[in-house]
Amino acid sequence: NAGVTQTPKFQVLKTGQSMTLQCAQDMNHNSMYWYRQDPGMGLRLIYYSASEGTTDKGEVPNGYNVSRLNKREFSLRLESAAPSQTSVYFCASRETGIGGYTFGSGTRLTVV
């Protein structure tokens, strides 16, 4: 009963490097989300996918891209990492119209 799985758990990048954060859910949920968590700012939505084949920008999409690879997987890509992207990233999923989100355990990213 894995729920939402995120990889990697920790990552250190140099400024300008690229990387992809992976997220997969096994609950057959339609909707998936990427948030970043910063002290004093709560969780801010980066991108979301209401259903397979669709993606939309959230509150803070600049510097990120996403891919909804299939119903299970929703990846977040940083093309050219910047120190301002140092954060904890959470993926979440939800069955459309039902209940709250189920969150992954997070990826702690540091950009130096």
* Residues lying near other proteins in the complex (CB under 8 A): 31, 33, 35, 40-45, 48, 50, 58, 90, 92, 96, 99-106
Q: For residue 53, what are the contacts with CB-CB under 8 A and spacing of at least 6?
A: 68
Q: In this structure, what token pair is assigned to residue 112?
A: 């130096």
Query: To the nearest whole angstrom, how small is the minimum distance from the Cβ of residue 81 to other proteins?
Result: 22
- Which lies closer to other proteins via its Cβ, residue 48 or residue 64? 48
Query: To the nearest whole angstrom, how small is the minimum distance from the Cβ of residue 18 to other proteins?
Result: 26
- Which lies closer to other proteins via its Cβ, residue 17 or residue 30? 30
DSSP for 73-112?
Answer: BEEEEESS--GGG-EEEEEEEE-TTSS--EE---EEEEE-
- Which lies closer to other proteins via its Cβ, residue 14 or residue 42? 42
